[in-house]
Chain A
Amino acid sequence: MSLLLERIRKSYREPGGRRLPVLGIERFEMTQGEQVALLGASGGGKTTLLNIISGILTPDSGRVVIDGRDIAVMQEVVRDHYRAAKIGIVFQTFNLLPAFSALENVLLGMSFSGKGVDKAFAKQLLERVGLGHRLNHSPQKLSVGEQQRVAVARSLANKPVLLLADEPTANVDPANQQLILDLIRDTCRDHKVSLLMVTHSLEVAGTFSRIEKLSEFNRPELCQQEQTV
């Protein structure tokens, strides 16, 4: 199993001191290599969920087990290192660093994992996403579709066990949407990486064999119940 969420509770403190419940998930799991589409309305807690799975945020309670280890109880330093090594992230807005070339953006993804920088593998990944001829181009000189392809290559740079994709085609032109989608899914399949893709598009979700609606398994009220108890 590559991902297991158990009894996850997450709430935010509002300016008045009241707590705003966001996530209440009893159990959610993904097996190795599985690809899941996650549907959810805006403000439904999707980004918070991805941040908790990636270790950027910690839940108020519950377990977040990735590749056999609970990252929720890890110290922040260990969790950062674990995220670099085990989790790939593809953002909706690509989040490439403008000072770095396409190749350097991928190498940057390798820099914090502790595994060292493998330039040959980085080039291989960029060739895999069809950008072998644009290695030294800065993001500003790449089209939107190409930028997202660099982001996909970067997310796979450390050979993660889990790839989190947050609406990766939302900002891409229709011509590139299917290309990016296929690229992410094929690459994950080739590398046996589990994929959790957040999307608004029923059309995109429809191509996945497993579709989860966040509203169906997320019960924020559980946070309040526990607080009351």
Chain B
Amino acid sequence: MNLLTIAWKSVRQRRLASSLTALSIALGVMLMVLVLVISGAVDSAFTQRSIGYDLIVGPKGSDLQLVLSAVYRMQPPIENLPYLYLDQLRKDRRVISAVPLAFGDVTEEGSFPIIGTTTEYFENEYMPGQAFKIRGSRINGLFDTIIGSEVARKNRWDIGSQFTIVHGGAESGHVHDEKFSVVAVLAPTGTANDRTVFLNLDGFYAIAGHGKPVIEVEKRLRDFYASDPERLALALGQLEAAKKQEAEEASHDHGHDHGHAHVTPDAMKEVTAILVKTRPSREYPKDSMDIVFDLKKGFQAMAVNPVVPIQRLVNGMLGNIQKALVVLTGMIILVSGISIFVSIYNSMADRRREIGIMRALGARRMHVFGIILAESAVLCIGGGLIGWLVGHSLAIAASPWVIQQTGLLINPWSLNVWEAVLFPVLVVLAALVGFLPAMTAYRTNVADALSS
């Protein structure tokens, strides 16, 4: 019979006290696991792992606003970039994919953001190793849309549903005349895509009121390419051609109804942000940084690594909350540890005779010391293990509800670095709280204990 078995017998004998003390440890560990799982989900929703792009390119301004608007759709866009710049980026040998986003409108029902983009958006992975799963058909018509899972759930929309959108945000109140149709629904991704309505980019430009006056476009092009006369000349040339075409169309009577949409010339188009994938960082580690530096030198655009401003935000705010919660649950575990100490220490007076008997049977001082430490370890580690399992089981049970309520994709079995140190910490805690009672057992006078 080894010391652990003897300790276990003793724990079982004091079932109620042992259960209560182990339960207090289990509760502490369970709370810590839940805090870590939830904060891990929040953290992963705001880090590189949740974004399948290396850079976000947008107009100069706040890098955080650009990322929050383009990736998380939480902020209004800064301004727009000329569509011609997208072509320029696509020709850059360092860029393997540049996906335009045009946004600013929301659905009339539910105020979900509308994003005009290309099919490339759905061909790329939305996060490393994660491809979009789409139910339905491809976008063919100008006003066909693909909707995120949350949009479908909350608005009770499905393939074939029709809806209208509000120009420039819900507060503007201006509802566009166009009717949009749902042709496909995205499977849940745990990202902002779940809460987004995707529209063909050409369809976005075709919405009445989205086109800008030529004079305003020209002014923007001049501002944007102010430091690059060659490109400015090229852009203005294209704009001139667009102007001529517009004038021709205005003077020409089509002889039919003008209800159909015209194709907008590239020089007149604008995009709100461009999602960029650069060449694999393993072979070309400097590509992303080079593009960031290149853009800093000129133009009115900036390129932002989406991780940097978000991590700054997460570490600055959520990081401290996570630390505070972990410290709080750590304190709960510590208090539980103290309750184990009190429980074992109080039982020592009753167990003095037991210890005397074991010593009389030949147990050495270190044996009885080890038995008490093992008891403490059984309660601490056993309670911790139960709490860990219950915590993760609760996370599994609650994850569908959390996803439904918040859109956060919870991975109930993801192990946090804090969890890796949890069990070594529990072993140390067991040793600390068990030490004093174990010393009492160690010092027990056998003859006195037997005669007591």
A residues contacting B by CB (< 8 A) are: 47-48, 51, 54, 56-57, 76-77, 80-81, 83-85, 89, 91, 95, 97-100, 104, 107-113, 117, 154, 158
Check A112–B358 contact: CB distance below 8 A: yes
Q: How many residues of B contact A (CB 8 A)?
A: 24
B residues contacting A by CB (< 8 A) are: 1-2, 6, 9-10, 12-13, 353-354, 357-367, 446-447, 450-451
A23–B132 CA distance with the chains assembled, in angstroms: 91
- Which listed residue, A56, A91, A99, touches B9 by the CB 8 Å rule? A99
- Min distance, Cβ B71 to any Cβ of chain A, angstroms: 61
A158–B361 CA distance with the chains assembled, in angstroms: 10
Task: Give every chain B residue within 8 A of A83 (Cβ-Cβ).
Answer: 360, 362
Check A85–B450 contact: CB distance below 8 A: no
The listed residue with most A CB atoms (<10 A of its CB), out of B353, B362, B367, B451, is B362
Known contacts A99-B10, A100-B9, A107-B1; decide if A112 and B364 are in contact (CB<8 Å): yes
Check A80–B364 contact: CB distance below 8 A: yes
Check A95–B357 contact: CB distance below 8 A: yes
The listed residue with most A CB atoms (<10 A of its CB), out of B2, B12, B358, B451, is B358
Task: Give every chain A residue within 8 A of B363 (Cβ-Cβ).
Answer: 80, 84, 111-112
- Min distance, Cβ B380 to any Cβ of chain A, angstroms: 20
Closest to A81 in B: B362
Check A112–B360 contact: CB distance below 8 A: no
A83–B367 CA distance with the chains assembled, in angstroms: 14
Task: Give every chain B residue within 8 A of A158 (Cβ-Cβ).
Answer: 362
- Min distance, Cβ A88 to any Cβ of chain B, angstroms: 9
Check B361–A112 contact: CB distance below 8 A: yes
Check A108–B451 contact: CB distance below 8 A: no
Task: Give every chain A residue within 8 A of B361 (Cβ-Cβ).
Answer: 84, 89, 108-109, 111-112, 154
Task: Give every chain A residue within 8 A of B354 (Cβ-Cβ).
Answer: 97
The listed residue with most B CB atoms (<10 A of its CB), out of A89, A109, A111, A154, is A111
Check B450–A91 contact: CB distance below 8 A: yes
- Min distance, Cβ A193 to any Cβ of chain B, angstroms: 16
A109–B6 CA distance with the chains assembled, in angstroms: 12
Closest to A101 in B: B9
Check B360–A111 contact: CB distance below 8 A: no
A99–B8 CA distance with the chains assembled, in angstroms: 10
A47–B364 CA distance with the chains assembled, in angstroms: 21
Task: Give every chain A residue within 8 A of B358 (Cβ-Cβ).
Answer: 97, 108, 112
Closest to A158 in B: B362
Task: Give every chain A residue within 8 A of B359 (Cβ-Cβ).
Answer: 56, 80
A89–B363 CA distance with the chains assembled, in angstroms: 14
Check A80–B451 contact: CB distance below 8 A: no
A130–B62 CA distance with the chains assembled, in angstroms: 89
A74–B366 CA distance with the chains assembled, in angstroms: 17
- Min distance, Cβ A113 to any Cβ of chain B, angstroms: 6
The listed residue with most B CB atoms (<10 A of its CB), out of A83, A85, A95, A110, is A95
Check A56–B447 contact: CB distance below 8 A: yes
- Which listed residue, A48, A51, A112, touches B362 by the CB 8 Å rule? A112
Known contacts A83-B362, A99-B13; decide if A111 and B1 are in contact (CB<8 Å): yes
Closest to A109 in B: B361
Task: Give every chain A residue within 8 A of B1 (Cβ-Cβ).
Answer: 104, 107-108, 110-111, 117
Task: Give every chain A residue within 8 A of B364 (Cβ-Cβ).
Answer: 76-77, 80-81, 112
Closest to A113 in B: B362
Q: Can you list 21 A-B pairs, Cβ within 8 angstroms, ordered by A?
A: A47-B451, A51-B447, A56-B360, A56-B446, A57-B447, A80-B359, A81-B362, A81-B364, A83-B362, A85-B362, A97-B9, A97-B358, A98-B13, A99-B9, A108-B361, A109-B362, A111-B6, A111-B363, A112-B361, A112-B362, A154-B361
- Min distance, Cβ B348 to any Cβ of chain A, angstroms: 15
Task: Give every chain A residue within 8 A of B13 (Cβ-Cβ).
Answer: 98-99
Shortest 8 CB-CB distances between A and B: which pairs?
A84-B362, A99-B13, A112-B362, A99-B9, A111-B1, A95-B357, A80-B364, A112-B363
Check A80–B9 contact: CB distance below 8 A: no
A84–B353 CA distance with the chains assembled, in angstroms: 18
- Min distance, Cβ B147 to any Cβ of chain A, angstroms: 64
Closest to B356 in A: A95
Task: Give every chain B residue within 8 A of A91 (Cβ-Cβ).
Answer: 360, 450
Closest to B366 in A: A77
A56–B450 CA distance with the chains assembled, in angstroms: 10
- Which listed residue, B2, B362, B447, touches A80 by the CB 8 Å rule? B362
Known contacts A95-B450, A107-B1, A108-B1; decide if A54 and B6 are in contact (CB<8 Å): no
A85–B363 CA distance with the chains assembled, in angstroms: 11
- Which listed residue, A99, A107, A109, touches B12 by the CB 8 Å rule? A99
Closest to B11 in A: A99
A211–B219 CA distance with the chains assembled, in angstroms: 124
Task: Give every chain B residue within 8 A of A99 (Cβ-Cβ).
Answer: 9-10, 12-13
Closest to A47 in B: B451
- Min distance, Cβ B153 to any Cβ of chain A, angstroms: 56
A223–B366 CA distance with the chains assembled, in angstroms: 33
A51–B445 CA distance with the chains assembled, in angstroms: 12
A158–B10 CA distance with the chains assembled, in angstroms: 23
Task: Give every chain A residue within 8 A of B360 (Cβ-Cβ).
Answer: 54, 56, 83, 89, 91, 95
Closest to A91 in B: B450
Task: Give every chain A residue within 8 A of B12 (Cβ-Cβ).
Answer: 99
Task: Give every chain A residue within 8 A of B367 (Cβ-Cβ).
Answer: 112
A108–B360 CA distance with the chains assembled, in angstroms: 11
A81–B363 CA distance with the chains assembled, in angstroms: 7
A107–B9 CA distance with the chains assembled, in angstroms: 13
The listed residue with most A CB atoms (<10 A of its CB), out of B2, B10, B361, B450, is B361
- Min distance, Cβ A151 to any Cβ of chain B, angstroms: 10
A84–B354 CA distance with the chains assembled, in angstroms: 16
A57–B451 CA distance with the chains assembled, in angstroms: 13
- Min distance, Cβ A9 to any Cβ of chain B, angstroms: 17
